[in-house]
Structure 1
Amino acid sequence: MQDVKLARTQSLLKEILPSALANLSDTRLNALNVVDVRCSRGKYSAEVFLSMPFANDKEKAEILKQLKKAHSLIKEFCLEETGWFRCPDFKFFFDGSLERENRLDRIFEILQKERENKEKES
């Protein structure tokens, strides 16, 4: 039963966090995609995984800094939207899984081309 409640909380946060980010005045924060949300067991904290594939490391560091500053505004928005008594503390991270997946796809394409070239030579 507890896992179902936790999953519902995570799902709801994943749904409303993009709206919270869209309401902020920084256009870089408006463009962020929420990939996943993982709450702690007691729902005191939540790890929010974000995606912004075209940002470099310097831009990502600046975005995380701005998110830390906007933390209270984001919590306030979530409390208003959900009607909860309290909201988890958010910790923001950039999700690198999509980038790793794309890198693996490129490696597989290169290996496939090499294999095809060897077959043609034989």
Structure 2
Amino acid sequence: MKSINLQRTESLLMELVPEALSTLKDSRINTLAITGIDCKNGKYDATVYYDGSDYTKQEKQVLNSLLSKASGHIKTYCLNATGWYKCPNFKFKADDTLEQSMKMEALFDKIKSKKQD
């Protein structure tokens, strides 16, 4: 169970990170859909999850590299917007949960159709 302060931090970052990305000129990442943020160690580390369902493995690696390079800009944006003394270090990961749930639904449908036969 996460503390209320940590949940507030994650919620605020869910608003600020997409705003910060939208100010970048790189079209590959400035419209990237952020699906979740998971803060660890207080506010020192945050994993940012983006919708990776439309990208190949190589494209995800490129996106992770671009996002890592842009993390300084994102931190500065968050610090300016919040007035915090310290901003978390961002780590970026593709969120494949939607893709996995679609595969699970397809499997359940297949099982259901076999049972009906």
Secondary structure of 1:94 counterpart: strand
1:34-113 alignment, distance < 5 Å = 34-113=34-113
Choose 1 or 2 for highest CA Rg.
1
Task: Name the residue aligned to 2:10.
Answer: 10
Task: Name the residue aligned to 1:26.
Answer: 26
Task: Give 1 or 2: higher helix fraction.
Answer: 1
Q: Following TM superposition, by how much is the alpha carbon of 1:22 offset from its aligned partner in structure 2, in angstroms?
A: 1.2
Q: Is the 8 A contact 2:79 2:86 kept in 1?
A: yes
Structure 1: which amino acid aligns with 2:25? S
Q: Is the 8 A contact 2:29 2:63 kept in 1?
A: yes
Q: Percent of aligned positions with the same letter in both sequences?
A: 36
Unaligned 5+ segments in structure 2 are none
Structure 2: which amino acid aligns with 1:38? D
- Matched residue count: 116
Which consecutive segments of 4 or more residues in structure 1 shift more than 3 A?
A: none
Q: Following TM superposition, by how much is the alpha carbon of 1:59 offset from its aligned partner in structure 2, in angstroms?
A: 0.6
Cα offsets for 1:51-106 (capped at 9, x unmatched): 13211111110000101111111111111111111111101111121111011011
Instruction: Determine the C-alpha separation between the residues in 1 that align with 2:41 and 2:58.
Output: 33
Q: CA RMSD in A?
A: 1.4
Q: Is the 8 A contact 2:46 2:88 kept in 1?
A: yes
Q: Following TM superposition, by how much is the alpha carbon of 1:3 offset from its aligned partner in structure 2, in angstroms?
A: 0.8
Secondary structure of 1:54 counterpart: coil
Q: Is the 8 A contact 1:6 1:41 kept in 2?
A: no
